[in-house]
Amino acid sequence: MRFTRLPRWALITCVALLVGARPHAQPVPAVREAQDADFARSVKEWTTAPEFLSPLVDQLPVVRGIPTPKDVLGYHIGAPKRLTKTDAALAYYRALEKASPRIRVTTIGTTDEGRDVTVVYIASEATLRNLAAHTANLGRLADPRGLSEAEASRLIAVTPPIYHLMAGLHSGETGPPEMLMELAYRLVASDTPLIRQIRDRIIVSFTPASDPDGRDRYIDWYRQHMADITEEKDRITGPPYWGKYIFHDNNRDINYSQVTMRAHLDWYLATHPPVMHDLHESVPFLYTFSGQAPQNPNLDPIIYGELPTFANFEMMQLTKYGMPGVWTHGFVDMWSPGYLAFMSSNHNGLVRMYETFGNGGATTMKRRVAPPEGAGQTSREWYRPLPPYKEVLWSMRNNTNYMQTAVLSALQYAASFPDVLVENFYRKSRNSIEAGKKDAPHAYVVPAGQKDLTRVDLLVSLLQRQGIEVTRATDDVTLSDGTYPAGSYLIKRDQPYGRLVKTLLEKQSYPDPALRTYDDTGWTMGLMLQVEVKPTADKAVLDVSVTPVTDLTRTGRLAGATSPATWVIAHHGSNDMVRLRLALGADADVRAARAAFTVGDVTYAAGSFLVPATAGTTLSDAVARLGLEATGLAAAPEVATVPVDLPRLAMFTTWGRTQEVGWVRHAFDTFGIPYELVYKERVRQGSLRTAFDVILIPSQATTGKSLVYDVDRKAGPLAYRKDPAFPTLGTYGETDDVTGGMGLEGVLELQKFVNEGGVLITLGASSYMPAEFGLQREVTAARPTGAFYAPGPIVQAEILRPEHPIFFGYATTTVPVRYANGPLFQVPLEDVAEQVLMRFTGGEEGVLSGLMRGATETRRRPAIVDTPVGKGRVVAFATNPCYRWQNHGEFGMLFNAAVLFWNDRPVDRPAPPPAAEAATVR
Ligand SMILES: [Zn+2]
């Protein structure tokens, strides 16, 4: 079935009817476009079946003076085995910019590795000339406080929406950055009615590569190892790294911790595109996101009308062109706000997303789409009326054709209703402010007087980063549901991003436990940071007198004796205690109190630092800079202490799963904690104890076996080495072969390391390994039943040995932790009292935010087990205390275990628990 095409001249003569009376409309050309015959021939050849092509993309006009992609790159988009690195793509966009006033290229930031992050704008010359004014108008509509309805209507009438496309967030999804170059050319050069309508009525903007570092590394890897693999069964793993740290999770960076993700957010908040559309690659042939349940109920209901409207329009258009396999439902839901493009819906815009089928490169390949035993995503459904084939020969050009045709359809829709899109954006922004006035909670209060202000400051700064206004109460605040001292932070909800305030700070109540979701179900910031945050239902809070918080610089305090014998630095749980320790220098004689102690009328918590007076300005400077409290004491206090000596720290990563390790590397780098990143090669080499005191294995893999054997050896050898031909490879580590894992010989070396006095620390899923491979011989690492389902909830944990240095800085014995789906440990009864440091309380009542189905399975299960082995120890966390730059409240346990108190345990063995209690502790 093919769409019957009108002659091109007929389309052109229709143009005057289609282009409305928007102020930017341009005269209709009288001439028919010349076409690039080589393009048409090539595309036909590279498209693997006629139905995978559409009339929107099977031709390319030739316009004198405007370079096609081939003119600059040397090949048409979609050519087999051709992928374009970011500098070449940027060169193309710059060449277009030089040739045409319809495109503008801007740099919005720099990546970890120094590449430019760019945004490209395309519209008619007249529209682009006024880009700044249009952006200013969108900014005014984004914050409509003080804007009359009449003025808003006027702005809506004259402001074209910006429709923003993002490509290459996931580097293994290689098609979108290619497609955008051809789309750019079409939008700039073509004069078909459709293209003119788009150009004249809206502004199209792109992020050509959302993760430029990863894009270039993936292409080098593809060129070295993948380009010639033509059989699906021979496909291999991708490169060990995309960007510097976090791989695929760049789409889960809810706090915008990564420098490149921050560049996107800053640009967004300055530009306010009403639509942000992220182009991904996975399922066949094209899935267009329609916002299925579970849905975030805080978002404006208008969004849930916009999403399926766009998706159904695209499905209709592509199906009309005869393209099979376009569908709108049954894949990604609308629950987690942490996806990158969600910045749009979080800020009253519209998030959109595609998954187009891809081969992980530009090599044409026969692909089995359906699983051998069933239909998978190839079944006919109400949302998939013309399903994808079960088996298909697929090419990069197919991918380009589908995605470009769908994007052109989306732009067609946007250009048909530009004022509706802008009006929706305005209405959602206005509604968000009104919702804060109408619906409780009307504000969240971060009470003054919390002991650790560094985490309070962090919470405030993370909110501000997202454009949320935070204020400080000028006087004491008395509300019907609480009283708070002057200086408390108030985050009022009658602001443009008031809905986002609620989304980030409330407890997540999952709407239907029967529904599965694509990512986390809980992210409540106060719980994650262990900062007290109180909602208030008292509307009077909106009238409380406040000043805006513009400067979060906090200077630490030095007090007490002028020429002290010793300094004491109170430990209130600040993660910056580790920064302070590092600032004092490895050789400094820093000690920590084993227990709380009192000087005068001040009580210092266990873990407070005692620093000799000789530390002088190094100490005072660090304390001031980090916002800590130091007091000079005339005499050393009477309290038992432990030396805060620093370890030689190794962090282990597999080659196959560097992502969770990347989050820990990012945290350690940010806090300035030195470590050596080691791979299987170093572990197998042995003599680990002579080189290291602590080996940290962040969560990675899913079983002990997969941690030990990693990438299947049959794909090898696969080198990841520095090579002038592939300049981005061999970064962050080198090997002749990424496959095979550390193997049993690696496990033996780890066992020797521990026996000889080393400390092995495992996090999350990596904690299966010590139990499964006998390093913790008496500990069992079990798995939950099939009915258990816990997509990232926040749960309650109970600290059983508060005197253990791992818990220095924790003032309470119950703490919220993110559930990491680590092992369900069982520890022999006689060892429980000594080895189980923390456990999950479990059960429904232990779920603090998000969903845990089958929560009784976690009841009283150990969360941290500290097992003496030989002369050393294995400390296994079932939690992941360093998760996506989110759970800062748990970071302290990791920093204590791995850095500050790596060789410190309580002096006394605890008494065994009473028999009745012990029987229920596993
Ligand atoms: Zn993706």
* Mean pLDDT of all residues in 387-415: 98
Band the pLDDT of 16: cuts 50, 70, 90.
very low
Cα of 142 vs centre of ligand 1, distance in Å, is 28
Q: Look up the pTM and report it.
A: 0.95
Tens-place pLDDT, residues 735-746: 999 999 999 999
User: How many angstroms does the Cα of residue 172 sit away from the middle of ligand 1?
Assistant: 8
Query: From the CA of 698, how far away is ligand 1's center (Å)?
Result: 23
| Residue the block writes with tokens 């986390």 | 520
Query: In the predicted model, what is the mean pLDDT of residues 836-844?
Result: 97
Query: What's the CA-to-centroid distance between 843 and ligand 1, angstroms?
Result: 34
Secondary structure element (H or E) that encloses residue 305, with its range: helix 301-320
Distance from the CA of 250 to the center of ligand 1, in angstroms?
Answer: 10
DSSP track, 639-705: --EEE-PPP-EEEE--SS--HHHHHHHHHHHHHT---EEE-HHHHHH--HHHH-SEEEE-S-SSSHH
* Pick from 854, 861, 874: nearest CA to 769: 874
- The rounded Å distance from CA 214 to ligand 1 centre is 13
CA neighbor of 584 nearest in space, from 614, 615, 627: 615
The predicted model gives 695-708 an average pLDDT of: 97
Distance 355 CA to ligand 1 centre (A): 7
Ligand 1 centre to CA of 454 (Å) is 35
Residue 6's pLDDT is 40
pLDDT band at 917 (very low <50, low <70, confident <90, very high): low
Are 569 and 809 in contact by the 8 Å Cβ rule? The answer is no
Residue 729 CA to ligand 1 center (angstroms) comes to 22
**Residue 866: its H or E element:** strand 862-869
**915 pLDDT band (50/70/90 cuts)?**
low
pLDDT of residue 394 exceeding 90, the answer is: yes
Give the mean model confidence (pLDDT) for residues 352-357: 98
Torsion angles phi and psi, residue 198, rounded to 5: -65, -50
135 Cα to the center of ligand 1, angstroms: 29
* pLDDT category of residue 18 using cuts at 50, 70 and 90: very low
CA 357 to ligand 1 center in whole angstroms: 11
* 361 CA from centroid of ligand 1 (Å): 14
Q: Is the peptide bond before 698 cis (omega within 30 degrees of 0)?
A: no
Residues 723 and 239: their CA atoms lie apart, in Å, by 14
Cα-to-centroid distance, 342 and ligand 1 (Å): 14
Distance 655 CA to ligand 1 centre (A): 20
CA distances from 807 to 699, 812, 862, 893, 902 (A): 20, 10, 15, 6, 12
Question: Distance, CA 279 to ligand 1 centroid (Å)?
Answer: 8
Residue 624 has pLDDT above 90, yes or no: yes
Q: How far is the CA of 862 from the centre of ligand 1 (A)?
A: 35
Distance CA 769, CA 696 (A): 13
C-alpha 278 to ligand 1 mean position (Å): 9
| C-alpha of residue 175 to centroid of ligand 1, in Å | 11
Ligand 1 centroid to residue 249 C-alpha, Å: 10
Tens-place pLDDT, residues 359-376: 999 999 999 999 888 889
Cβ atoms of 411 and 163 closer than 8 Å: yes
CA distance 705 to 713: 14
Distance in Å, CA 168 to ligand 1 centroid: 8
Tens-place pLDDT, residues 516-538: 999 999 999 999 999 999 999 99
Q: How confident is the model at residue 513 (pLDDT cuts 50, 70, 90)?
A: very high
> In angstroms, what is the span from residue 353 Cα to ligand 1's centroid?
10
Find the 667 Cα to ligand 1 centroid distance in Å. 24
Q: What's the gap in Å between 282 CA and the centre of ligand 1?
A: 7
Per-residue pLDDT for 10 more than 50? no
Q: Give residue 56 CA to ligand 1 midpoint distance, Å.
A: 25
Distance in Å, CA 119 to ligand 1 centroid: 19
User: CA 841 to CA 623: how far, in whole Å?
Assistant: 36
Question: Measured in angstroms, how far is the CA atom of residue 75 from the centroid of ligand 1?
Answer: 25
Distance in Å, CA 802 to ligand 1 centroid: 42
Closest C-alpha to 393, from 374, 376, 370, 368 = 368
* pLDDT at site 185: 98
CA of 202 to the centre of ligand 1 (A): 26
The answer to whether 694 and 894 are in contact (CB under 8 A) is: no
- pLDDT for 11 equals 39
Q: Report how far ligand 1's centroid is from the alpha carbon of 338 (Å).
A: 14
Instruction: Compute, in angstroms, the gap from residue 72 CA to the centroid of ligand 1.
Output: 28
Q: Which H or E element spans position 782?
A: strand 780-782
Q: Ligand 1: distance of its center to the CA of 877 in Å?
A: 30
Q: For residues 738 and 236, what is the distance between their CA atoms, to the nearest angstrom?
A: 11
Q: How remote is the CA of residue 280 from the centroid of ligand 1, in Å?
A: 4
Give 281 Cα–ligand 1 centroid separation in angstroms.
6
Residue 17 has pLDDT above 50, yes or no: no
Tell how far the Cα of 71 is from the centroid of ligand 1, in angstroms.
30
CA of 885 to the centre of ligand 1 (A): 20
How far apart are the CA of 853 and the centre of ligand 1, in A? 27
DSSP state, residue 223: I
User: 206: CA distance to ligand 1 center in Å?
Assistant: 17
589 Cα–ligand 1 center, Å: 49
pLDDT tens-place string over residues 275-327: 999 999 999 999 999 999 999 999 999 999 999 999 999 999 999 999 999 99
Ligand 1 centre distance from Cα of residue 354 (Å): 9
Q: What's the CA-to-centroid distance between 218 and ligand 1, angstroms?
A: 14
- Taking residue 694's Cβ as centre, other Cβ atoms within 10 Å add up to 24
CA of 81 to the centre of ligand 1 (A): 20
Percent with pLDDT over 70 in the chain: 95
- Distance (angstroms) between ligand 1 centre and the Cα of 518 equals 12
Average pLDDT value for residue range 182-201: 98
**pLDDT of 131-189, one tens digit each?**
999 999 999 999 999 999 999 999 999 999 999 999 999 999 999 999 999 999 999 99
CA separation for the pair 445, 897 (Å, rounded) = 32
Residue 121 CA to ligand 1 center (angstroms) comes to 23
Q: For residues 644 and 659, what is the distance between their CA atoms, to the nearest angstrom?
A: 30
Say which residue, 23 or 695, is predicted with more confidence: 695
How many angstroms does the Cα of residue 220 sit away from the middle of ligand 1?
Answer: 19
What is the whole-number distance in angstroms between the Cα of residue 173 and the centre of ligand 1? 6
- Ligand 1 (single-atom ion) residues, CB below 5 Å: 170, 173, 280
What is the whole-number distance in angstroms between the Cα of residue 20 and the centre of ligand 1? 37
Q: How far away, in angstroms, is 386 Cα from ligand 1 center?
A: 24
- Residue 579 CA, ligand 1 centroid: distance in Å: 35
The radius of gyration computed from the CA coordinates of the chain, to the nearest angstrom, equals: 29
The rounded Å distance from CA 171 to ligand 1 centre is: 8
Concatenate the DSSP letters of all residues of 502-547 into one string.
Answer: HHHHSPP--S-TT---SS-S---HHHHHT---EEE--GGGGGS-EE
Q: How far is the CA of 177 from the centre of ligand 1 (A)?
A: 13
46 CA distance to ligand 1 middle (Å): 24
Separation of CA 554 and ligand 1 centre (Å): 39
The alpha carbon of 246 and the centre of ligand 1 are apart by a number of angstroms equal to: 13
CA 382 to chain centre: 32
Write out the two tokens for 72: 């600059």
Q: Nearest-5° angle of CA 900, CA 902, CA 904?
A: 100
Q: Does 479 score more than 50 pLDDT?
A: yes
pLDDT given for residue 25 in this prediction? 41
What is the Å distance from ligand 1's center to 413 Cα? Answer: 24
Instruction: Please report which helix (H) or strand (E) contains residue 557, including its range.
Output: strand 557-560
Structure tokens at 414: 């946007």
Q: What residues have CB less than 8 Å from 9, skipping those under 6 apart?
A: 32
Ligand 1 geometric centre to CA of 857 (Å): 33
pLDDT, one tens digit per residue, over 51-95 is 999 999 999 999 999 999 999 999 999 999 999 999 999 999 999
Cis check: omega of the bond before 294, within 30 degrees of 0 = yes
Using the mean position of ligand 1's atoms as its centre, give its distance from the Cα of residue 307 in Å. 19
Find the mean pLDDT for residues 811-828. Answer: 98
Question: Which DSSP state fits 789?
Answer: B
pLDDT of residue 912: 66
Nearest to 32 by CA among 252, 247, 190: 190
